[in-house]
Amino acid sequence: METKLFQAEELDQAAQILKHKGLVAFPTETVYGLGADALYPDSVKQVFEVKGRPSDNPLIVHVADFEMTRPYVEKYHPLTDRVVKTFWPGPLTLIFPIKKNTLASIVTGGLSTAAFRMPDNKKTLELIRKVGDPLVGPSANTSGKPSPTTAAHVFHDLNGKIAGILDDGATKIGVESTVLDMSGEVPTILRPGAITKEMLEAALGVEVLLDQHLVIESETPKAPGMKYKHYSPDTPVLMIQENQWQPAMDWAKTENKRVGILAGPAIAEKYRSQDRYIFDDDTVEAAARGLYSGLRALDEAGQIDLIFAQIIEEDSLGAAYMNRLKKAASQKYFSEK
Q: Is the peptide bond before 134 cis (omega within 30 degrees of 0)?
A: no
**Is 117 among the annotated ligand-binding positions?**
yes
Phi, psi of 233 (to 5 degrees): -75, 170
**Is 289 among the annotated ligand-binding positions?**
no
Strand order in the sheet with 275-278: 237-240, 306-310, 259-263, 275-278
Q: Which residues pair with 188 in a beta bridge?
A: 181, 209
**Is 86 among the annotated ligand-binding positions?**
no
**Is 153 among the annotated ligand-binding positions?**
no
- Determine the residue type at 196: T
**Is 129 among the annotated ligand-binding positions?**
no
**Is 53 among the annotated ligand-binding positions?**
yes
Radius of gyration of the chain (CA): 20
CA neighbours within 13 Å on the CB side: how many for 80? 22
**Is 3 among the annotated ligand-binding positions?**
no
Residues in contact with 134: Cβ distance below 8 Å, sequence separation at least 6, in sequence order? 37, 38, 39, 61, 62, 63, 68, 72, 116, 128
Work out whether the CA dihedral 228, 233, 234, 240 comes out positive or negative. negative
E strands, the chain, are 4-6, 24-26, 33-37, 60-62, 92-97, 113-117, 135-136, 164-166, 178-181, 188-191, 209-210, 237-240, 259-263, 275-278, 306-310
Q: Please give the annotated binding residues for L-threonine, written as ranges.
A: 30, 62, 117, 177
Instruction: Enumerate the known binding-site residues for ATP.
Output: 53, 57, 113, 139, 147, 191, 231
Q: List, as residue ranges, the binding site.
A: 30, 53, 57, 62, 113, 117, 139, 147, 177, 191, 231
